[in-house]
């Protein structure tokens, strides 16, 4: 990790000093253990602020849409896929972005660490040699990273960015056969009543903060459907009907576009398992249209095209 | 006798008795998240935690509140106010920062020409039983901003965890009357009170985050165009986590719903949302995260100070821990105070 | 307030495309074909006009069932409106059913202008399905 961090800084330094980019968007040290924070660097002397470790979990491509300057962005596999989707949707100009691709074996899920600590506060954490050494008042744990990795990373099939201008570090081994839809399949096997009860319970925790929407790189609409007022389609109250509809429609809107970076679930302050819902849309699009988002610049968004022979078993 | 004690294992029985006469709100665990909820028995509460995810403000300012219902007839509109409170309330296990938040909210909701009936009616009919902090979090900065881990502002009773029992201090007449309903409670011994004092002193010493808020308001007055706001605005994603989880943020929106029964409801709103300052013309004076974060900080540490004499922050640290991009208000305050 | 009488008579919102399905419904009427009176028709220029919001909003408002009907693929008056809609409806239907909305609440059909009888049959079946499901509760906002 240390080498990758240094290489990343060198590359950033070069890009800035040669004027190839106006700003570097990367990860900086956070103010809490196991946290990093989005970092915007436009001066070469600030480059040392960039870090790279297993808590670099944000999807930084979220900051690219709508920019007019030239940006160098640090991108993991999922982040690069998101950039690809936004490029295909003509929201990002490819020539304005220098993708600093980073192979990523997975990021830490701080909620899993918090669960392990069971109410105790982590005061310091070091990530080293596939282990998280976390210390607090009167305790010290050494946790194997693989047990505290984000669920989205455990079944990730794109550890290496499918698109990049420069790659930092060694390519990570891929796991192309990972069963990424296991959780969804398990829910599918339950009855409609059980699923409804499950999602009602899960989504009743929602406080409508829109952290999920705002950290998502694909949610770039200038006016979100939930903010439309003339007419107002759906309510902004936290009543279950309004809340469930917000999540259903958001899932529908990212159908065929979501790259399962997991940022939405990580951002949720109420620990709602949002991936369970959104991942289903990925499965629908994969099975019906044989499509996976964010793999190639030549792809056509599935809901933006059609084939005469599309399945219509559900239409009488 | 201002002090009593209760063995921890007797706490569920006390809560159970309270639920018979009062609406009791206490921290309840729902998987990984603990929030204040109405409890109907003594076993649902969890008191050995740092603090709840959501602040207790939602008991007095619900995220969704019906202000009144109405029926539009041929000749007139019939309006029916919100139903009266079924019973008085007791909030149990409120940390000193959150209780102090109530005091600040009281100032806000009782100011101006129209006092906020909905909020104040609940406040007046509620007793707050606080829980002193023995182990502040690293993100707590209550002592920098007028509070304390064993502060009593906004409380009627203060509990303190003495390991196997709670020390109960009567803070107000209301608290005294409440505790008199439990004559089986033992009086506290001198040793208990001393232990409580020691734990309080230790807790205060254990606060790690110390900020200088001296002159913040005056400094902010000169900082409207400071480049610091650009940096802050860059990473902010504009969600409502900081405002919704803040014990003192209380902005709301009012709308009419015409479901089966027409009603006027009040819901939480956030200055970080794009619609907050959107004008009918389409112009938005706070069009990006930069202006909105600036406004939030100014409101907390300048405007509220000018209007009510105190900062509108209690140092609970929820915004620091829960912000998806690790925006840290301590860094912001430090940035301002070093100007 | 749903009375017992109303519970036995579901209300179904039907979006019919002007050129095919609406004409087909009209033909059913001209031919005096009997079908249950439980549908309320909204005429749209094309099934592609049907925004998923309409369907979701209908469920929120308490409609017991929704029917969307358009031209057969290849016959769309606007060439491909129904083809784009087909993918959209597929995703929406799968998503709603995954969430637990009962299969049978949201229905789709291709009915041409000549298929008066088919229209009557479709409505019959949809009404039967929805009746068996009972009044809509999930997603309803009271």
pLDDT (0 to 100) of residue C55: 98
- DSSP state, residue B82: P
Which among B302, B338, B330, B1 is positioned nearest to B138, based on CA atoms?
Answer: B330
Is B275 in contact with A229 (Cβ distance < 8 A)? yes
Quote the ipTM score. Answer: 0.95
For residue C87, being part of any structural domain is answered with: yes
Reported confidence tier of residue A149, pLDDT bands at 50, 70, 90: very high
For residue C138, being part of any structural domain is answered with: no
For residue B211, being part of any structural domain is answered with: no
Query: Minimum mean pLDDT among A59-63, B77-81, B245-249, C108-112: which range?
Result: B77-81
Average pLDDT over residues B234-243: 97
Residues from chain A contacting residue C93 (CB–CB below 8 Å): 314
For residue C142, being part of any structural domain is answered with: no
Residues B203-214 have pLDDT tens digits of 999 999 999 998
Task: Give me the DSSP letters along C1-24.
Answer: ---HHHHTS--EEEEEETTTHHHH
- Helix H or strand E encompassing C108: strand C106-110
Report the mean per-residue pLDDT for chain C.
Answer: 94
Closest-CA residue of chain B to C1: B260
For residue C140, being part of any structural domain is answered with: no
pLDDT (0 to 100) of residue B114: 87
Is C84 in contact with A306 (Cβ distance < 8 A)? yes
Residue C8 has pLDDT above 80, yes or no: no
Average pLDDT over residues B291-297: 97
> How many domains is chain C partitioned into structurally?
1
For residue B279, being part of any structural domain is answered with: yes
Note whether B52 and B112 are same-domain residues. Answer: yes
Report the mean per-residue pLDDT for chain B.
Answer: 95
Which among B280, B304, B294 is positioned nearest to B111, based on CA atoms?
Answer: B304
Note whether B175 and B233 are same-domain residues. Answer: no
Note whether B291 and B255 are same-domain residues. Answer: yes
For residue B152, being part of any structural domain is answered with: yes
CA of C131 to nearest chain B CA: how many angstroms apart? 22
pLDDT (0 to 100) of residue C3: 53
Domain extent, residue C106, equals 4-133
pLDDT (0 to 100) of residue B214: 87
Pairing of strands B157-161, B252-258: unpaired
- Which residues have a Cβ under 8 Å from the Cβ of A62 and sit 6 or more positions away? A82, A215, A216, A217, A263, B237
Residues from chain B contacting residue C142 (CB–CB below 8 Å): 259-260
- Examine the fold and report which residue of B167, B185, B206 is the final residue of a domain before the chain moves on: B206
Reported confidence tier of residue A175, pLDDT bands at 50, 70, 90: confident
Is A312 in contact with C83 (Cβ distance < 8 A)? no
Measured from the Cβ of residue B110, the count of other Cβ atoms closer than 10 Å reads: 13
Reported confidence tier of residue C40, pLDDT bands at 50, 70, 90: very high
- Helix H or strand E encompassing B66: strand B64-72
Residues from chain C contacting residue B260 (CB–CB below 8 Å): 1, 142
pLDDT (0 to 100) of residue A13: 96
Residue A141 has pLDDT above 90, yes or no: yes
Note whether B197 and B285 are same-domain residues. Answer: no
Note whether B287 and B190 are same-domain residues. Answer: no
Reported confidence tier of residue C142, pLDDT bands at 50, 70, 90: confident
Note whether B192 and B246 are same-domain residues. Answer: no
Report the mean per-residue pLDDT for chain A.
Answer: 95
Residues from chain B contacting residue A207 (CB–CB below 8 Å): 54, 63, 240, 244
pLDDT (0 to 100) of residue C5: 54
Domain extent, residue B305, equals 216-337
Give the Cα separation of C55 and C67 in Å (integer). 9
Residue A1 has pLDDT above 60, yes or no: no
> Does residue A316 belong to the interface with chain C, where contact is any CB pair within 8 Å?
yes
pLDDT (0 to 100) of residue A57: 97
For residue C139, being part of any structural domain is answered with: no
> Does residue C71 belong to the interface with chain A, where contact is any CB pair within 8 Å?
no
Residue C6 has pLDDT above 70, yes or no: no
- Examine the fold and report which residue of B179, B206, B233 is the final residue of a domain before the chain moves on: B206
User: At CB < 8 Å, which residues of chain B contact C?
Assistant: 259-260
For residue B123, being part of any structural domain is answered with: yes
Residue B169 has pLDDT above 90, yes or no: yes
Average pLDDT over residues B90-114: 96
Residues C52-85 have pLDDT tens digits of 999 999 999 999 999 999 999 999 999 999 999 9
Note whether B156 and B84 are same-domain residues. Answer: yes
Helix (H/G/I), strand (E/B), else coil: A192: helix
Distances (CA, A) of C59 to A237, B184, C96, C100, C108: 17, 55, 11, 13, 15
Is A245 in contact with C110 (Cβ distance < 8 A)? no
Percent above pLDDT 90 for chain C: 93
For residue B246, being part of any structural domain is answered with: yes
For residue C124, being part of any structural domain is answered with: yes
pLDDT (0 to 100) of residue B311: 96
Edge to edge, the sheet with strand B262-268 lists B77-81, B64-72, B262-268, B252-258
Average pLDDT over residues B249-266: 91
Is B259 in contact with C141 (Cβ distance < 8 A)? yes
pLDDT (0 to 100) of residue B197: 95
Q: What is the CATH number of the domain that holds C106?
A: 3.40.50
For residue B319, being part of any structural domain is answered with: yes
Note whether B103 and B134 are same-domain residues. Answer: yes
Average pLDDT over residues B91-96: 97
Residue A196 token pair: 């409804």
Residues from chain C contacting residue B259 (CB–CB below 8 Å): 141-142
Reported confidence tier of residue B178, pLDDT bands at 50, 70, 90: very high
Residues A90-104 have pLDDT tens digits of 999 999 999 999 999
CA of B258 to nearest chain C CA: how many angstroms apart? 9
Pairing of strands A97-101, A71-75: parallel
Measured from the Cβ of residue B34, the count of other Cβ atoms closer than 10 Å reads: 22
Give the Cα separation of A26 and A41 in Å (integer). 8
Residue B43 has pLDDT above 70, yes or no: yes
> How many domains is chain B partitioned into structurally?
2
Residue B45 has pLDDT above 80, yes or no: yes
Residue B229 has pLDDT above 80, yes or no: yes
CA of B203 to nearest chain A CA: how many angstroms apart? 13
Chain A residues 115-174 with a CB less than 8 Å from chain B: 115, 119, 121, 123, 137
Note whether B194 and B275 are same-domain residues. Answer: no
Average pLDDT over residues B132-141: 96
Note whether B149 and B226 are same-domain residues. Answer: no
Structural contact between residues C67 and C17, judged by C-beta atoms closer than 8 angstroms:
no
Is A266 in contact with B33 (Cβ distance < 8 A)? no
Note whether B116 and B235 are same-domain residues. Answer: no
CA of B259 to nearest chain C CA: how many angstroms apart? 6
- Examine the fold and report which residue of B183, B206, B229 is the final residue of a domain before the chain moves on: B206
For residue B145, being part of any structural domain is answered with: yes
Residue A272 has pLDDT above 80, yes or no: yes
Nearest to A38 among B53, B238, B325 (CB): B325
Note whether B192 and B230 are same-domain residues. Answer: no
Mutation target to probe the B interface, by most B beta carbons within 10 A, among A206, A237, A245, A276 is A237
């Amino acid at each position: 990790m240390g080498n990758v961090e240094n290489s990343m800084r060198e590359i950033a330094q070069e890009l800035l000093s040669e004027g190839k980019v106006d700003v570097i968007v990367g990860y900086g040290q956070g103010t809490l253990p196991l946290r990093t924070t989005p970092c915007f660097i436009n001066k070469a002397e600030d480059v040392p602020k960039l870090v790279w470790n297993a808590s670099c979990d944000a999807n930084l491509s979220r900051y690219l849409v709508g920019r007019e300057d030239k940006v160098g962005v640090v991108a993991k596999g999922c982040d690069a896929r998101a950039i690809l989707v936004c490029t295909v949707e003509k929201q990002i100009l490819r020539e304005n972005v220098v993708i600093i691709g980073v192979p990523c074996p997975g990021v830490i899920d701080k909620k899993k660490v918090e669960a392990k600590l069971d109410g105790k506060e982590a005061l310091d954490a070091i990530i080293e040699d596939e282990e998280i050494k976390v210390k607090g008042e009167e305790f010290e744990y050494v946790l194997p990273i693989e047990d505290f990795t984000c669920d989205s990373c455990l079944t990730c099939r794109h550890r290496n960015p499918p698109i990049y201008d420069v790659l930092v570090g060694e390519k990570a081994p891929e796991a192309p056969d990972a069963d990424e839809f296991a959780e969804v399949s398990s829910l599918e096997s339950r009855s409609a009543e059980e699923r409804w009860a499950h999602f009602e319970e899960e989504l009743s925790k929602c406080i409508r903060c829109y952290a999920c929407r705002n950290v998502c790189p694909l949610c770039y609409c200038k006016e979100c459907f939930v903010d439309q007022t003339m007419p107002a389609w759906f309510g902004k109250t936290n009543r279950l009907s309004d809340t469930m509809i917000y999540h259903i429609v958001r899932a529908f809107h990212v159908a065929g576009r979501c790259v399962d970076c997991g940022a939405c679930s990580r951002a949720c302050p109420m620990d709602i398992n949002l991936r369970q819902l959104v991942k289903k849309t990925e499965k629908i699009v994969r099975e019906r249209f044989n499509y996976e988002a964010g793999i190639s610049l030549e792809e056509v968004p599935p809901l933006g095209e059609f084939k005469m022979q599309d399945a219509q078993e559900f239409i009488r | 006798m201002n002090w009593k004690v209760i063995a921890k294992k007797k706490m569920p029985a006390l809560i159970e008795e309270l639920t018979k006469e009062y609406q009791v709100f206490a921290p309840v665990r729902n998987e990984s998240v603990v929030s204040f909820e109405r409890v109907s028995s003594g076993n649902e509460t969890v008191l050995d935690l740092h603090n709840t995810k959501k602040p207790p403000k939602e008991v007095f300012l619900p995220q969704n509140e019906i202000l009144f219902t109405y029926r539009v007839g041929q000749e007139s509109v019939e309006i029916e106010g919100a139903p009266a409170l079924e019973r008085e309330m007791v909030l149990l296990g409120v940390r000193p920062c959150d209780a102090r938040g109530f005091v600040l909210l009281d100032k806000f909701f009782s100011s101006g020409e129209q006092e906020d009936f909905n909020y104040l009616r609940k406040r007046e009919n509620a007793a707050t039983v606080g829980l002193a902090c023995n182990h502040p979090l690293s993100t707590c900065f209550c002592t920098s901003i007028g509070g304390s881990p064993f502060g009593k502002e906004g409380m009627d009773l203060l509990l303190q965890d003495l390991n196997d029992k709670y020390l109960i201090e009567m803070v107000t007449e209301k608290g005294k009357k409440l505790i008199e309903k439990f004559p089986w409670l033992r009086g506290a011994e001198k040793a208990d009170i001393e232990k409580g004092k020691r734990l309080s002193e230790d807790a205060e010493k254990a606060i790690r985050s110390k900020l200088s808020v001296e002159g913040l308001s005056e400094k902010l007055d000169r900082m409207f165009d400071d480049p610091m706001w650009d940096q802050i605005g860059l990473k902010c994603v504009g969600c409502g986590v900081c405002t919704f989880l803040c014990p003192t943020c209380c902005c709301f929106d009012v709308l009419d719903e015409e479901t089966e029964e027409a009603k006027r409801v009040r819901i939480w709103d956030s200055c970080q949302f794009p619609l907050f300052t959107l004008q009918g013309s389409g112009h938005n004076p706070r069009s990006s995260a930069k202006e909105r974060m600036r406004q939030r900080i100014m409101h907390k540490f300048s405007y509220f100070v000018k209007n009510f004499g105190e900062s509108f922050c209690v140092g609970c640290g929820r915004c620091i821990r829960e912000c998806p991009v690790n925006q840290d208000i301590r860094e912001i305050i430090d940035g301002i105070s070093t100007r | 307030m749903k009375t017992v009488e109303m519970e036995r008579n579901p209300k179904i919102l039907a979006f019919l495309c002007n050129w095919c399905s609406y004409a087909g419904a009209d033909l059913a009427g001209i031919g005096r074909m009997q079908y249950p009176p439980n549908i309320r028709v909204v005429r749209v220029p094309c099934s592609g006009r049907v925004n998923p919001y309409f369907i979701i909003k209908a469920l929120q408002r308490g409609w017991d069932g929704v029917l969307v009907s358009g031209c057969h693929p290849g016959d769309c008056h606007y060439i491909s409106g129904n083809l784009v809609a087909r993918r959209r409806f597929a995703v929406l239907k799968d998503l709603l059913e995954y969430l637990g909305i009962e299969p049978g609440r949201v229905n789709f059909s291709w009915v041409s202008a000549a298929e008066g009888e088919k229209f009557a049959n479709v409505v019959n079946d949809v009404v039967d399905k929805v009746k068996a499901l009972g009044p809509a509760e999930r997603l309803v906002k009271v």
